[in-house]
Amino acid sequence: MGGWIAVLTTAAVIGTSLTAYAAYYDIYGNIEQQNIDTDSFGDRPNRVEGAMNIMVIGSDVRTGENADYGEAEGQRPDTLIVAHISPNNGRATLVNLPRDLIVDLPACEGQGDTAGMAAQRGMINSPLSLGGVQCQWKAVESVTGIRIDHFVSVDFTGFKGIVDSIGGVRMCIPDPIDDEDAKLHLDAGEQTLDGEESLGYMRSRYGQGDGSDVSRIKRQQEFLGAMLNQVMQGEILNRPSNITGFLSSVTETMTTDDELTLDVMSDIAIAMREVDLGNINFVTTPNGQAPENENRLALTQPQASQLFEAIAKDQSLTGDDDGGDGGGGDGDGDEEQQEQVAPGDVSVEVLNGEGTPGLAEQVGQWLTTEGFQVANTGNPVQIPAQTTIYYGSGKKAHAQALADEAVNATVVENTSLGDTVQLVLAQDWDGFTSTAGSGGGSSPGGVDGTTAEESKQQCS
């Protein structure tokens, strides 16, 4: 559940006040802390001076006050995020690791009353229940190659309290939601969600969109952006009593490692103070259908490794381009003004000539989440030399709307086509463009993301 990152980001953004009021030292004492034996991990990824990586866990533990949300054995991350804070680049990047990811997990020793686990291939969120936070920490480092410095965890009840402490979150709900599993029933329109409704919105999966964890993550990222915008532009920062109430709600339900001290929290807050909302980036790890299980996900390579490497080396995700035309031109020199076409008006067939199994389905899923109408996926009869979008008579603007979302795609007319345009992926396919900061650059190919600034919620 991506909403848990508010525990870190929102608190960090306003947390410069931690050192301003002596009462905050008492608030800090509310936090439950665990010792993590990182020395037992063996070789670990290198640390980059001046940057920090925090593993954020939204725990779905169903005991105590969380028992109302059904039964589940042990605890697993309902959401798992790596929060990369980069003062050197003046930005923060929040990388969602979908819980349905199947990855190679390392062996690890158990913590507390957990047994630990042998090396295996399994879901990215399973080490928490098998070996505790220590196993989850080691697994994330092993899978991503990113050195984790700290962890933060909050459960369902804690998240509700955080939302209620800021007076709810204003959201635009495009369609009515009726999801009994998530205990969520909302009318369409702009409205303020309280803690219970916000938790349901973040948990809701099959009651919205295509029911996938990836589309749910996208909605969660939008919620977080709305929450951060509200905190930064609302009354919380203006009054010490408001800040105290918010931080009390956060710390009463937070678990961290014992090296995440008050001084470290203050350092994070000072760093975050310099980060503009337009430079708080939410990205999802590139993924596609797992070969061994159609209901699970696998990392899409090389895009996932490129993203992880950029985070591990504290490199900017934005490219050197000026944020201009994200897609390819049509090569015919036609400079006349083109009509603007909304994604919902574009019907597209995705054909995979790149060779990676399942890539057409993955691309189709991403296009669906962006509002395009995916008519079909499959393989092409002929593979062009470069990724190409073919269009029929009168559909040039439709093809260009799709090309604007692609890192590299040439637009070519094919008079034999009807209303549906064809996206044929070739060997040079490099994913979709994604604004990853106020500079308007591109994320690594295949990385889907947004910024807190872009997530301002207002119904049209």
Q: Which residues pair with 116 in a beta bridge?
A: 109
- State how far the Cα of 404 lies from the Cα of 321, in Å rounded to an integer: 14
Give the pLDDT score at 216. 78
The answer, yes or no, to whether residue 245 has pLDDT greater than 50, is yes
Give the pLDDT score at 72. 42
Q: Predicted confidence band at 87 (pLDDT cuts at 50, 70, 90)?
A: confident
Q: Are 304 and 82 in contact (CB under 8 A)?
A: no
Three-state SS for 371?
coil
- State how far the Cα of 156 lies from the Cα of 340, in Å rounded to an integer: 43
The DSSP-derived string for 139-198 is HHHHHH-PPP-EEEEE-HHHHHHHHHHTT-EEEEESS-EEETTTTEEE-SEEEEE-HHHH
Q: Higher confidence at residue 192 or residue 166? A: 192
Task: Find the mean pLDDT for residues 223-248.
Answer: 66
pLDDT tens column, 287-339: 888 888 888 999 988 889 989 999 999 987 764 333 333 344 444 444 334 56
Q: Predicted confidence band at 249 (pLDDT cuts at 50, 70, 90)?
A: low
pLDDT tens column, 160-188: 877 887 888 888 888 888 888 888 899 98
Three-state SS for 18?
helix
Give the pLDDT score at 70. 43
The residues spanned by each domain of the chain are 2-312, 343-425
Q: Are 297 and 103 in contact (CB under 8 A)?
A: no
The answer, yes or no, to whether residue 391 has pLDDT greater than 60, is yes
Q: Which CATH architecture has domain 2-312?
A: 3-Layer(aba) Sandwich (3.40)
The answer, yes or no, to whether residue 440 has pLDDT greater than 60, is no
**Nearest of 354, 399, 404, 406 to residue 380 by alpha carbon:** 354
Residue 226 φ/ψ region, left for φ over 0, alpha for ψ in the -120 to 50 degree band, beta for the rest: alpha
**Greatest mean pLDDT among 56-70, 166-180, 213-227, 326-340:** 166-180
pTM of the model: 0.66
2-312 and 343-425 in the same fold: no
Q: In the CATH hierarchy, which top-level class contains the domain 343-425? A: alpha beta
Task: Find the mean pLDDT for residues 227-238.
Answer: 65
Give the Cα-Cα-Cα angle 59, 261, 453 (nearest 5 degrees).
60
The answer, yes or no, to whether residue 346 has pLDDT greater than 90, is yes
Q: Higher confidence at residue 295 or residue 120? A: 120
Residue 333 φ/ψ region, left for φ over 0, alpha for ψ in the -120 to 50 degree band, beta for the rest: left
Give the pLDDT score at 144. 97
- State how far the Cα of 191 lies from the Cα of 22, in Å rounded to an integer: 36
Residues in CB range of 312: below 8 A, 6 or more apart: 45, 46, 48, 144, 145, 146, 147
Percent of the chain clearing pLDDT 70 (strictly above):
73
**Greatest mean pLDDT among 81-85, 164-168, 355-359:** 81-85
Q: Which residues pair with 154 in a beta bridge?
A: 58, 254
**Nearest of 10, 434, 446, 4 to residue 247 by alpha carbon:** 10
Q: Which DSSP category does 101 fall into?
A: B
